[in-house]
Structure 1
Amino acid sequence: MTTPVAGVSAWNLPNALTVLRMLVVPFFGWLLLAEDGQNVALRWWATALFVLAIATDRIDGDLARKRGLVTDFGKVADPIADKAITGMAFVGLSLLGELPWWITVPVLIREWGITIMRFVVIRHGVMPAGRGGKTKTALQSIALSVFLMPLWTFPQPDLWQALAWVVMAAAVLLTLVTGIDIALKALRLRRTSDRAAMK
């Protein structure tokens, strides 16, 4: 776990990249949903913007750690930015009928439920994204990236669809498992934090 450095301003490059990732969400959503998702060029632009936004997640984290710019704001905002861009992809694909809602709804409940829980327990301590959460985000990103592409234009589109579903299944399973793990850690934090000990 990387500890925030005392005296470091939240106004720094890693946090700016995190905020930028949040700001591109509506543009990404528009590109994905325009013309019912059937415009090949717009689908490629949507995919490119999604991949670029996800790439900044790794970049801002590395920058923050290497330059000693880790802040509580970044530790809270970073997973929110991840959930915003991936959540838009899940919802957009379900609105287009390309991803079942029975996948999207449980994933969103887990993602935003955990985010709300982080804010509930923030008085006891900040819960940064763990290794399992990062792996989950990576799997989601790969699966969503493939789903976002105009697969109907690919040679052997069924093969690409099958690949996307295999990765998506793994991502959804890890999403639910890590959600349970984080919930247990939050309960433990509430019981063992300095604030809890003072009561």
Structure 2
Amino acid sequence: MNLPNKLTVVRVLMIPFFVWFMLPSLGGEMAASKWIALAIFCIASLTDLLDGKIARKYNLVTNFGKFMDPLADKLLVGAAMICLVEMGRLPAWIVIVIISREFIISGFRLIASDNGIVIAASYWGKFKTVFQMAMIIVLIAAFEGSVFAVVEQILIWVSLILTIVSLVDYIRKNKEVLTQGGM
């Protein structure tokens, strides 16, 4: 197993520890729990950045990495958002919209893959990911003050809007994938 794939596996293995420290009902009762959870989330997010850069730079792209890297990202972000719903920091309906988008895109990618088509991530999707990660970080940190409350709300709404825009863009650019699959 090459280094990028090991980083992806480490990211997946970090998720239960992240959840443990995020949720007071599990293990997140001590004062430092949210900061430990935040550190784990940030480190896991950095492994996402690193594994892709290393894989492309050193030509270490594998089928395992193509499958597991986006899955690891979805698991990490999904786990974080579900924890934030549990904590009352993020509305459930927004998380449902965001996770639904991920299922729809995964379905498109599966159909495309069956037809020998590889669909690259768009800039909208990358912007969406950056804003979702920033939103999660700010919501975990839960800084006090009205300025931070405004920043949280802006990040939540921009993340939601980018999620929808990236979905529409993705479907528009790849609608032929559905018709090529015999659907």
TM-score by length of 1: 0.81
CA distance in 2, matches of 1:132, 1:74: 22
SS state of the match for residue 23, structure 2?
helix
The amino acid that maps onto 1:22 is V
Report if the CA contact (8 A) 1:79-1:129 is conserved: no
Who is 2:14 aligned against?
Answer: 24
The 5 Å alignment of 1:16-165 reads: 16-35=6-25, 39-124=30-115, 125-151=117-143, 154=144, 157-165=145-153
Structure 1's unaligned 5+ residue stretches are: 1-10
Identity of aligned residues (%): 36
Report if the CA contact (8 A) 2:82-2:95 is conserved: yes
Who is 1:169 aligned against?
Answer: 157
Alpha carbons of 1:183 and 1:61: their partners in 2 closer, same or farther (altered >3 Å)? same
CA distance in 2, matches of 1:86, 1:158: 26
Between Structure 1 and Structure 2, whose CA radius of gyration is higher?
A: 1
Who is 1:182 aligned against?
Answer: 170
> Which deviations, in whole Å up to 9, do the C-alpha atoms of 1:73-120 show, x marking residues without a partner?
323322221111111111111011111112111111111222233223
Report if the CA contact (8 A) 2:108-2:178 is conserved: no
Structure 2's unaligned 5+ residue stretches are: none
Query: How many correspondences in the alignment?
Result: 180
CA distance in 1, matches of 2:169, 2:83: 28
The Cα of 1:191 is off from its aligned counterpart by 4.8
The Cα of 1:20 is off from its aligned counterpart by 1.6
Report if the CA contact (8 A) 1:13-1:60 is conserved: yes
Further displaced range: 86-95 or 70-79: 70-79
TM-score by length of 2: 0.88
CA distance in 2, matches of 1:33, 1:81: 20
SS state of the match for residue 34, structure 1?
coil
